[in-house]
Structure 1
């Protein structure tokens, strides 16, 4: 899209003019900044669309351009400063820091204050307000100040533009975040459909209620005026034995409604170090707040177990971690699903926080029969003497266990096509699964 590169160029040239004018004032070569808004091109440009959506003021657009430019032109600021300080030298008024890998100049809040406000105290304070928590930059997680060590001026923090915004504006797409300590979640998807999910009718009805919330929540809050009365998000608890469809259901909800689903295994992010769990969760929710994602917390028992009496510092901080996660979940504006093997593992005080508590029981014989028939590959030859209803009645298995057995049997059939797949081989595979799960046979 040529207009995108053109508009990025226009924006950087415009910013260069503002910075040059400010430096001329600083070195007594000019009296004022008289620069018109940048002449952007094309209604289909991503930069144009971004500006049309947010309608930024002169100061907001300047701040945005300051944070975007280092991602496009690494030595942008260095060249401008060198024109006024050809012999080098320190210029603390301009602010800025050096990166770890990036060898160029990175603007800070102090840079923004100098470029936009100069020596005008009121304008400098306005810049600080633009970088505050109540501004749309922060609320929409577009632009923020990097935290600084305790005791240092807040505005000395580096201007940070959301990497996804950079990617979206420059390349036209934002890749899905990868699992890391900064983002302790993994994207999950499925090729299955609702027809592959075998659950009791009562469970399916409750799942449809969540789907209805996803579809109609915006209308309820905005058009029906319920935004001031109800919390924006939706919280659901899925509980039941492993392999009964909790993760698949969350993934299908995303697939059905066009939302990305991210799975968070709480047992993997709880830290033995005081305060680290809260930091891990904070990074996750900060990233998710501006997205339309479904957050699926697996192994919720790890942090949502019954709260303990405070006997030592460990108990105190464990309870603080739980309270922090509850607070972030309640304030999150999207769908949050927590999964647990048993409802009894969770403190009853948490139950009031959920709009839905949905039981995923072990499938009954009729449901297991449907699971067997749904899971078997069409091209897999099976002995006609296998009584699938009898198999379903005799062996209590979850949907995931049945899938594991069929997977094993299918591979065995492909590896040994001369040997028919019969009752003996099927029961051997079932026994293998029971042993793997540690069940008494």
Structure 2
């Protein structure tokens, strides 16, 4: 966070205004997550400092109204200023009208598990989990385990973890479909709020809405929802983060329905969160047999394949591809064939179209990773090295 003394025109007295940034990349020091100092420096230079300068200029007008744009992404300290009427007005404006839970849509699952191609181990784990869910009432109600928990049944919590594009989201829909229930899909970013306490309220609202509709609650990209809590809290943002994650744990304990989490980074989970999950199902990149079945699923009978097509060779060329990349290959191949300069009835998808599309998809993925690496190296050379050099020079001067 960054702080600035705010002149009296913003309230009855001078107050300390805190600007907080959430969701920053973190480094881990002794198991404790801390914001990346390089990123914090960049945010200060590009965003925070201009805001503070704007506030400094703004006070030149004695009759100026409260700048609500600034207050909307500013969090006051826990002094008397938290009761500032202008800040209260902004919160009322932001949350007036339709209640937050009304925006959380209950949907019919579009996919059944039969339509999701998975490696054998993953499918076996899913089937075993569904079988255990069917026996949930037997175990906790008829066999009395619910009495250990105060006559309540624990949430049926499932964690789907693995690389992107391996079918986690579709399987969440498939589980809801298999249970004959609707789905309440949530990305945790939908719940996060700039106002103190509102994120926790939103978390409680989605659990309540799922319970009212007997819907499967699905948290996509669940890293933030179940991430590690901070042990050293230095600001309001850190306190708010811990509060929201504690609320998530409490609601998981109270919930008696089915809640599913999906993540690409299960290592970021808080230990207390991980221990509350009943079923953990790993997802892996599809093997050769799975890739063949995915291609067959994505290539309809009407697809105008040329005689030179070899699915076996295509499967070999896509080693290491996820299901999403395979779908991209099929779409790019179709686009190439559709661009042929001949009547539509004569257009054919050739083996060359597939080979070229596979290469383009692979290069596209490699380019993304290469760009991320280049950005990291650029950051190190332009930001970190000068900081290190300045520190070294300062130490030499002191010596």
> TM-score normalised to the size of structure 2?
0.60
2:314·2:354 contact (CA, 8 Å) conserved in 1?
Answer: no
Q: 1:259 to 1:278 in 2, by over 3 A?
A: same
Counterpart in the other structure of 1:316: 239
2:351 pairs with 1:423:
yes
State the shift of 1:273 in Å.
Answer: 2.0
Q: Deviations over 1:17-43 (max 9, x none)?
A: xxxxxxxxxxxxxxxxxxxxxxxxxxx
Does the residue aligned with 2:321 lie in a helix, a strand or coil? coil
Q: 1:305 to 1:270 in 2, by over 3 A?
A: same
Does the residue aligned with 1:303 lie in a helix, a strand or coil? coil
2:337·2:353 contact (CA, 8 Å) conserved in 1?
Answer: no
Counterpart in the other structure of 1:351: 274
State the shift of 1:245 in Å.
Answer: 0.8
State the shift of 1:239 in Å.
Answer: 0.7
Does the residue aligned with 1:289 lie in a helix, a strand or coil? helix
CA distance in 2, matches of 1:303, 1:439: 26
Does the residue aligned with 1:302 lie in a helix, a strand or coil? coil
2:139 pairs with 1:217:
no
State the shift of 1:330 in Å.
Answer: 1.9
Query: Which aligned pairs between 1:238-253 and structure 2 lie closer than 5 A?
Result: 238-253=160-175
Which shows bigger deviation, 295-304 or 281-290?
Answer: 281-290
2:301 pairs with 1:373:
no
Which shows bigger deviation, 281-290 or 237-246?
Answer: 281-290
Q: 1:212 to 1:184 in 2, by over 3 A?
A: farther
Counterpart in the other structure of 1:406: 330
Q: How many residues align?
A: 264
Contiguous gaps of at least 5 residues in structure 2: 1-97, 372-399
**Residue from 236, 242, 253 that aligns with 1:330:** 253
Q: Deviations over 1:161-188 (max 9, x none)?
A: xxxxxxxxxxxxxxxxxx9732453444
Q: Deviations over 1:109-160 (max 9, x none)?
A: xxxxxxxxxxxxxxxxxxxxxxxxxxxxxxxxxxxxxxxxxxxxxxxxxxxx
Counterpart in the other structure of 1:153: none
Does the residue aligned with 2:219 lie in a helix, a strand or coil? strand
State the shift of 1:214 in Å.
Answer: 3.3
1:203·1:358 contact (CA, 8 Å) conserved in 2?
Answer: yes
Counterpart in the other structure of 1:433: 361
State the shift of 1:320 in Å.
Answer: 1.1
1:233·1:332 contact (CA, 8 Å) conserved in 2?
Answer: yes
Counterpart in the other structure of 1:397: 321
**Residue from 242, 245, 263 that aligns with 1:340:** 263
Counterpart in the other structure of 1:206: 125
> TM-score normalised to the size of structure 1?
0.55
Higher relative contact order (CA 8 A, sep 6+): 2
Q: Deviations over 1:176-232 (max 9, x none)?
A: xxx973245344445544333222222222212331233232333333333213533
CA distance in 2, matches of 1:222, 1:347: 29
CA distance in 1, matches of 2:302, 2:266: 40
Counterpart in the other structure of 2:147: 228
2:306·2:351 contact (CA, 8 Å) conserved in 1?
Answer: yes
2:229 pairs with 1:301:
no
CA distance in 2, matches of 1:386, 1:439: 31
1:262·1:296 contact (CA, 8 Å) conserved in 2?
Answer: yes
Query: Which aligned pairs between 1:63-74 and structure 2 lie closer than 5 A?
Result: none
1:267·1:299 contact (CA, 8 Å) conserved in 2?
Answer: no
Query: Which aligned pairs between 1:160-179 and structure 2 lie closer than 5 A?
Result: none
Counterpart in the other structure of 2:180: 258
State the shift of 1:440 in Å.
Answer: 5.9
Counterpart in the other structure of 1:280: 202
Q: Deviations over 1:384-411 (max 9, x none)?
A: 3233222222222111221233234345
CA RMSD in angstroms comes to: 2.7
Query: Which aligned pairs between 1:121-140 and structure 2 lie closer than 5 A?
Result: none
**Residue from 87, 100, 113 that aligns with 1:181:** 100
State the shift of 1:278 in Å.
Answer: 0.9
**Residue from 289, 294, 297 that aligns with 2:211:** 289
Q: 1:282 to 1:237 in 2, by over 3 A?
A: same
Does the residue aligned with 1:195 lie in a helix, a strand or coil? helix
State the shift of 1:413 in Å.
Answer: 4.2
Q: Deviations over 1:361-398 (max 9, x none)?
A: 11122321221122211111212323322222222211
